[in-house]
Structure 1
Amino acid sequence: MRIVKNWLGALVLLPGLAAAEQIGEVSTVFKLMGPNDKILVEAFDDPKVQGVTCYLSRAKTGGVKGGLGLAEDRAEASIACRQVGPIRFVGELKEGEEVFRERTSLVFKTMQVVRFFDRKRNTLVYLVYSDRVIEGSPQNAVTAIPVLPWPERS
């Protein structure tokens, strides 16, 4: 019963995370059965920082297991976040706050993006990494956005 409550609690928290929009994909390995292995490019907006969009590229495993959602995707990912409008903070920012999460295996592995704010340099820092219930991966990528005034257009 405790496990069910924890899962339900996690599902309630998910709406606060950003949802990704697929921008494009490229095939990397042909699979005779099921979809090909791919690299996906996705975009998501930071839910607490208006004016910031992050672009994420990540591996997606194909084949029969991948097509059924049973394959484990690789831990490698790349991230680039950009200022796309005036930056406005919506709510209090927490250090290391998760802004995006994607399941990369049936149960045990996720890819996450967390945000930090470097107050000294007035810069938002985003880190993407993958973790597992038992053992995570040290592979990661980071991007930074200085908080600058956005030019007004007439």
Structure 2
Amino acid sequence: MKSRIALLAALFAALPVMAEEVGCVTTAWKLIGANHRVCVYAFDDPKIPGVTCHFSQAKTGGVKGTFGLAEDPSQFSLACRQIGPISLPAKLSKDEIVFSEDTSLMFKETSIHRSFDEKRNVLIYLAISRKIIEGAPANAISTVPVQPWGTR
């Protein structure tokens, strides 16, 4: 029983985090269904305490958007910041997905990857949106220098 609980805990720890919606702004009013919007989300890096990322993403409205059938455009922005002391784990993966979200019913996703530039002591967050069928994904980047935090 304990091994099952440990296995489930490890599986959930390996999953990308869920983002918290901070707010949305209407970009186009729709007569029927939800309006087109740009929404801002926040999430704390699950393995790096002291780092929070905010990203904005365009959301398609209308009837299809209301029922989750619309494909959201590949338009987003990303900003990650140090918000407290950063504690790097002993082993940090070269490329790890820290957030992932489907942006269409079929084959399109937005994901945020974290890597570490050891030489410069900088965390790098890369957001990409891609379809399995297409190449050249839309992307955005944000960096967080690992610096001392406070003197407490």
State the shift of 1:16 in Å.
Answer: 2.1
CA distance in 2, matches of 1:109, 1:13: 23
Can you give the 5+ residue segments of structure 1 that lack an aligned partner in the other structure?
A: 1-11
State the shift of 1:96 in Å.
Answer: 1.9
Which residue number in structure 1 is paired with residue 35 of structure 2?
36
Q: Write out the 4+ residue segments of structure 1 that deviate beyond 3 Å after TM superposition.
A: 12-15
Identity over aligned pairs, percent = 51
2:130–2:138 Cα contact (<8 Å) kept: no
Which stretch of the first structure deviates more once superposed, 108-117 or 81-90? 81-90
What is the DSSP-based 3-state SS (H/G/I as helix, E as strand, rest coil) of the residue aligned with 1:92? Answer: coil
State the shift of 1:147 in Å.
Answer: 0.2
How many residues are aligned here? 142
State the shift of 1:138 in Å.
Answer: 2.8
TM-score, length of structure 1 as denominator length: 0.86
What is the DSSP-based 3-state SS (H/G/I as helix, E as strand, rest coil) of the residue aligned with 2:84? Answer: strand
Superposition CA RMSD, Å: 1.6
Cα 1:80–1:50 shift into 2, 3 Å: same
Which residue number in structure 2 is paired with residue 142 of structure 1?
141
Which residue number in structure 2 is paired with residue 59 of structure 1?
58
CA distance in 2, matches of 1:36, 1:137: 29
State the shift of 1:55 in Å.
Answer: 0.3
State the shift of 1:127 in Å.
Answer: 0.5
Which residue number in structure 1 is paired with residue 17 of structure 2?
18
